[in-house]
Structure 1
Amino acid sequence: MSAPAGRDRRSLPVPDGLDGMRLDQAVSRLFGLSRTAAATLVDAGDALVDGAVRANSHKVKAGSWLDVTLPAPVAAPTVVPQAVPGLRVVYADDDIVVVDKPVGVAAHPSPGWSGPTVIGGLAAIGHTIATSGAAERQGVVHRLDVGTTGIMVVAKSESAYSALKRAFKYREVDKRYHAVVQGHLDPLRGTVDAPIDRHPTHDYRWAVVSGGKPSITHYDTVEAFPSASLVDVRLETGRTHQIRVHFSTLRHPCVGDLTYGADPTLAARLGLDRQWLHARALSFLHPGTGEQVTFVSEYPDDLARALAVLRD
C-alpha cells in the first residue's frame, strides 16, 4: 500500500532502546515529531504495530514492526517585511545590525508563529540581511524568546555571519541577562551546569534531561526583595529557554514565567503577563573591525514597573 500523495510511508522494526515505550513517544523519538504531532498521527491510524492500529498508550516491544505514514512536510515560513512597533535599532553598519527587541516579537519566522519578527521588522525599514542560514532565519546568529526583551545582533554581511556564528559557538560572546527570580538563591552567586533537551512529555517546553545538550549558566544576586531576587546572568551556552529552565530546576523560576512554575499570584501583583527576563548586554569582537563592542539595553516599562513594586 502506498502513502497518500505528499506523505511519506516508513516501515522499520522497533529498536531495542525503545522497548516498553508508549507508541506515541516511540513515534516521536524515531521521527523527530513533537509528542502532540505523534499522538495525532497515532489517533488517525497512521502508525501500525505489526499491521494493527493501536492506542497511544500501547507499549511497543523491541522487534515489532512499525508502519508509519508521516504527514506532508510543512513549507518553510517566509520573511514578510512588517513594521514592528517598539523595535529599536541600536547600531547598524555594513556588517551588523543591533536591535533592542520588544516583547511579543520572535527572532524569525517559524511554523505556527504568525506574529511580528525581528527579521521582518528589519526588512520593513530597509536593512538587507546576510543570506547565510535557512531561508526563514537568514542572518540570525542567536535568538531571544518571544517573551524575552533586550539586545540582539543580526548579521548583514556573509563574512559577519560566519564570524559571529563562530564566536557564539566557541563562547567568545559575553551574553548578560537580568532576571527576577522567585525567592532567594542559595548560594547567592553560583553556576548551574545541567544538560537541557526537549521536555519528555510537554511540547514547547524544555527540561534538564540526562543526555541533553551541555548547558551552563552563571548567576550573581544583585538585589534581594522579600519575595524575589534580581540576578545578573551570564550564559556560557545558548540553549532554548536555558535561563528559564535552569532557574525553574533550582525551584526559583523567573517571576511571571507560568510555563515553568512561577506563582501566578505574584505575577498578577506585579502586573506581569510574561517572564521577568531581559537581555541586558552583549559584548563581542566586531566582525569587520576586530574591535571589542558592547551594547546595553534598559529595562522596558513592564519590567521596570514590576521592579518598582518589589522595591516599595
Structure 2
Amino acid sequence: MFLKIKNVAKMFDEKNGVKEISLNVEKGEFITLLGPSGCGKTTLLNLIGGFLTVDSGEIILEGENIEQVPPEKRKVSTVFQNYALFSYYNVLDNVAYGLRYFRKLPKKEARRLAQDYLKMVGLEDYADYNISKLSGGQQQRVALARGLATNPKVLLLDEPLSNLDANLRAQMRCEIKELQRKYNITMIFVTHDQVEALSMSDRIVVMDKGCISQVGTPKEIYLSPANKYVASFVGSANYIEENDKCYLARPEDIEISKSVDGDFKIISMMFLGAHTDIIVEKENKRFEVSVLGNKIIDMEINDKVNLHVLNKTEIL
C-alpha cells in the first residue's frame, strides 16, 4: 500500500478532531476528503502533512512510518487555501523556492527547472510577473507548480478552489484533474463542495464528526450511500417510508406530471437552464424533483401534480 493511515486519532477536545481513522491510498490516486466545516477533514490533511502530531496511530508512506518526520522532510507537499505565495518574489522564483530550499538545488539550476514546472501548468510566459499581477486562477497554478516542484510523493490540497468564482472553479477542477492524470500524481483534496468531489475524485472519503462515514467511488457514494447523512450531504435526497423500510429517491429519479386531481401541489420552482428544481408538497410532506429541459414549460407554482418514482434505493 502506497499510503496507509492506521487508527490515527487527534482530538482537540471531546468533540473536535479525528477519531481512530484508517484509510489506504494507492499510488496515483485522487482522494477527496469531503464533509462540512468541523468534520475533521483539514485536521486529517494536516496530520498527513506533518503540521499536527497524532495522539495515536500510524501514518505510513511507502513502508516508512512518517509521523515523527517534520513537515519539511516529508515527501509531502501542501497547496493551501490562501496559496501562501511570496509577494516579493516573481512567479519563477516562487516555484524555484521549493527546489532551492527543499531539494537543495543551486539557484541557477532551480530557476531552470522551475520553468519546466511552470510549463506543466501553462504559465511559462508569466515567469517574470509579480504575483500581485496574476488572476486568482493563475495564482492557483503557481501554487500547484510550487507544490509539484518539491517532487512530493503525495500532494495535499486544502480547499484550493474556494476563493475562485464559479466559472474559474469549474475550469480549475478540469485542469487539476488533467494534471493529476497526466503525471500520475497522488493527490489528497479537501473540500466541502460535493460537485468538486464528484467530478474530480477516484474515491471520496465522506467525513462526519471526526469519523469516516463512507469511502467509495463517486458513483458508489451518490447511488449507494451508506446512510442518510451521506445521502443528504452528497446530492439532494427524498426519503420514502414503506413497510417499515426507508428508501432514497434522488430528485432526478422522480417523474412529475400535471393533473387537476394531483395529490401534490407545486410550492417552488427554480429554473436553472438545463434543468428546473421543483419542490412539491402534500400534507406537509415535501419532495424535490429535478426536471430536464422544457418538460415543465406548462407548469407553474400552485399547480396540482402527480409523482411517479422511477428508482429508489433502500437506505439505513
TM norm structure 2: 0.25
Higher RCO (CA 8 Å, separation ≥ 6 residues):
2
More helix as a share of residues: 2
Q: TM-score, normalised by structure 1?
A: 0.25
More strand by share: 2
Task: Please tell me whether Structure 1 or Structure 2 has the larger radius of gyration of its CA atoms.
Answer: 2
